[in-house]
Amino acid sequence: MEGKDLLSWEQKTLLSELINGFEAAKKLQARIGEAPSPSSSFLSPATAVAETNEILVKQIVSSYERFLLLLNWSSSPTVQLIPTPATVVPVANSGSVPESPASINGSPRSEEFADGGGSSESHHRQDYIFNPKKRKMLPKWSEKVRISPERGLEGPQDDVFSWRKYGQKDILGAKFPRSYYRCTHRSTQNCWATKQVQRSDSDATVFEVTYRGTHTCSQVITPPPPPASPEKKQEDTRVRPAITQKPKDLLESLKSNLTVRTDGLDDGKDVFSFPDTPPFYNYGTINGDFGHVESSTPIFDVVDWFNPMVEIDTTFPTFLNESIYY
């Protein structure tokens, strides 16, 4: 565990710019928020505009928050911002079923890696360096996903990453079992991203997907064999570029991701938008590689698109300051 948490100047600069934007957005949000909001009995267009502004600012702020959060974890995993879950939005539990208090903690087994039982298999693979204690601290967020009718009653396994199911459990009080997935590349690329999929009790067409951890793998699906690409199960409608990037290209990728991207939304909407919700945009670790660009149109709907699933204490993350100006 060496302290390799020092950031390059590029990253520091990036962060500070990010932080500036974040602060500015928050200020703006505060100003808008304190608008007296005259309770006019009639709906003036101005009111509507104000509301829109509020929503927009809220979006911006939460995007910043998520971004910083992700950046934080991927760059310096040793610092925790909000280790506890519970921050995950309760989200539309229309069924009023309290469900478990969002404490979907992993249970870090003591032996953890390497064959719990002793399948030997050897440890000579130093990939297995993952502190089990950190697993709980991994970033976590969830989404509600609605399957489309014509897609059949199939789970929403449709994000850009490839997952491998490793478990299923009946959950107390839930009608449907919960499925557990981990990144396919866990063993090969030491990628510890996981997700859980839970079908909603009340609305069978809605799946609650909880992601934990960010992908450190490069999900490059570059089928070496020139002949027909060996796709797995998923359809093939999506052709992703699968660009492998080098760390030095990070800024570039961030730049492109942070610019106004209206694709992925309805065609030609001039809505300012940061990258979508976490599972849909791609990020790499600061010192990792890659980040491929892609904007798939989800076949399913993300129900609470605007809900900041990951709520962060809006106090300013001081660790970032330290990282930058240490």
Partner DNA sequence: CATATTTGACCAAC
Partner DNA sequence: GTTGGTCAAATATG
Q: Which residues bind DNA (CB under 7 A)?
A: 100, 103-110, 112-113, 115-117, 119, 135, 162-173, 178, 180, 182, 184, 194, 196, 212, 232-233
Cβ atoms 197, 174 nearer than 8 A = no
Cβ atoms 299, 155 nearer than 8 A = no
41 vs 122, beta carbon nearer DNA = 122
Cβ atoms 296, 276 nearer than 8 A = no
Tell me how far apart the alpha carbons of residues 185 and 188 are, in angstroms, rounded to a whole number.
5
180 vs 319, beta carbon nearer DNA = 180
136 vs 261, beta carbon nearer DNA = 136
Least distance CB 79 / DNA (angstroms): 20
27 vs 133, beta carbon nearer DNA = 133
28 vs 171, beta carbon nearer DNA = 171
Cβ atoms 178, 195 nearer than 8 A = no
DSSP 88-145: B-----TT----S-S-------SS-SS-SS-----S--TT----HHHHTTS-EEEEEE
Least distance CB 325 / DNA (angstroms): 35
Least distance CB 116 / DNA (angstroms): 4
> If DSSP codes are grouped into helix, strand and coil, which group holds residue 199?
strand
Least distance CB 200 / DNA (angstroms): 15
Least distance CB 62 / DNA (angstroms): 24
182 vs 261, beta carbon nearer DNA = 182
Least distance CB 198 / DNA (angstroms): 8
Cβ atoms 169, 177 nearer than 8 A = yes
CB atoms within 10 A of CB 131: 13
